[in-house]
Amino acid sequence: MQKIPLSSVTSDMILARDIFRGNMPVGMPVCNKGTQLTDDLIKRLENLDILSVYVEGCPVQEEGNNSLDIHLRELDGRFIKTFREPLNAILYNTYKAYLIRSMGGNSGRQTE
Amino acid sequence: MADKRSDLKKSIMDTKTLPTLPSVIRKLNSLSDNEKSSVQEMAKIVSSDQVLSARILRLANSPSYGFYRVSTITNAMILLGVNVVKSLAIASSIFAAMEKDNVCLWEHSLGVGVAANLIARKLGLPECEEIATAGLLHDIGKVIIRIKCSTAENDILGLIHTRQIYTLEAEREVIDTDHAEVGAWLSKSWFLPEKLGEPIAFHHDVAKSENYRTKTAVVHIADVLIKASGFGNSGDNFVPPIQQIAWDTLQLNEQLLAELVEEIEDKLIEVKTFCLEMMSD
Ligand SMILES: [Fe+2]
Ligand SMILES: [Fe+2]
């Protein structure tokens, strides 16, 4: 299973999780898992402002690292004013290590 | 320009336009000096306001405290202390307005409450619940600025965006004061105990906190950690500098920090769920 942005979704991919309106589990269900995506369906999801979906397998290659990259870049952004201060540098490195451990530890993982 | 700023400051600091304190709190304030009044008696007063009681209990069961289920006001007073329940009553009436329309600041506040509690526990400090409450309330000045002068708030957010500066700097430029000062003034007007008032007043300048420096230091560090994690949003997106005096007061080190980050991130998942639940009802 892989979470990918809707823009990378192509027809033939299979949903690995239900999709809810407003992307919230409290919203109305839009589409069940197991559904094979079609161009029509993708358009409908776009209209519903769905930003990302879970699909089966690992169709988009770099994605696993990608989301880690995004998190690390956001972390850099938050520390842009203070990463040179010694105490903040410690915190920055702590957070960086935490992110890598919690989401990137599988960077060498093979496609399932 | 300077005139406009001081006018804004005056209007924000005007007690006459302060949101009204629930009458229950006024009753409690007059009671609590009286040593004889029992927890049961105070609980009875609070329970007479059902809406307020429900809100208090919801906050008492938020992840900031969430180590037990609290189902009655009497239990809340025994488990969390009268001060905490009083502060929760105040918090819930102020936050009532913003739960739904400023979810990001609400998330930030809950996050800091959670982080403050975890830090206090990890360091074995007394009065963890009070510290968690101070964390929950630390940016209350921002809510007041928003309630009293939403145009000033817009100008502040605009400045943060265009000049990429800290909220505190933008506030000083626009209203000649900042949310810490407004919060301090608010906690005095509403007779919050000093051990909550000091962390609210000095969470951006720990050195000025004299009587409750440890509590203030915890809230400062909790705020920095939540900013670092990117959870919620309190105006700007910049991690403020960790103040050496806070670090030293709490005798932090790299190992402790790493453990705290892990525990806080774990707990934040619960906070997120709690916020979603609150929004959905
Ligand atoms: Fe603050
Ligand atoms: Fe804050």
B60-106 per-position pLDDT tens digit = 888 888 656 788 888 888 888 888 888 888 877 777 766 666 788 88
CB B242 within 8 A of CB B229: no
Cβ neighbours of residue B113 closer than 8 Å, sequence gap 6 or more: B62, B63, B64, B132, B133, B135, B136, B222
Task: Tell me A13's DSSP state.
Answer: -
Cβ neighbours of residue B69 closer than 8 Å, sequence gap 6 or more: B61
The CATH architecture one would assign to domain B2-280 is Orthogonal Bundle (1.10)
B162-205 per-position pLDDT tens digit = 999 999 999 999 999 999 999 999 888 888 889 999 999 999 99
Cα distances (angstroms) measured from residue B24 to each of A46, B20, B210: 50, 11, 31
Residue A31 in any domain: the answer is yes
| Local confidence band at B32 (pLDDT 50, 70, 90 cut-offs) | low
Residue A37 in any domain: the answer is yes
- Please count the structural domains in chain A: 2
Q: Is the pLDDT of residue B258 over 90?
A: yes
Q: d(Cα A23, Cα A16) in Å, to the nearest integer?
A: 15
Q: Residue A111 has what pLDDT? A: 37
Residue A62 in any domain: the answer is no
Residue A61 in any domain: the answer is no
* Same-domain check for residues A73 and A104: yes
Q: Residue A4 has what pLDDT? A: 75
Q: Do A82 and B239 touch (CB under 8 A)?
A: yes
Q: Residue A87 is which amino acid?
A: L
Please state which of the ranges B45-49, B198-202, B257-261 shows the lowest mean pLDDT: B45-49
CB B195 within 8 A of CB B128: no
* Same-domain check for residues A49 and A73: no
Q: Do A79 and B239 touch (CB under 8 A)?
A: yes
Picking from B166, B227, B265, the nearest residue to A98 by CB comes out as B265
* Better pLDDT: B4 or B236: B236
B235-248 per-position pLDDT tens digit = 999 999 999 999 99
- For chain B, the structural domain boundaries read 2-280
Domain assignment of residue A20, given as a range: 2-55
B225 touches chain A (CB under 8 A): yes
Q: State which residue of chain A sits closest to B247, comparing Cα positions.
A: A87
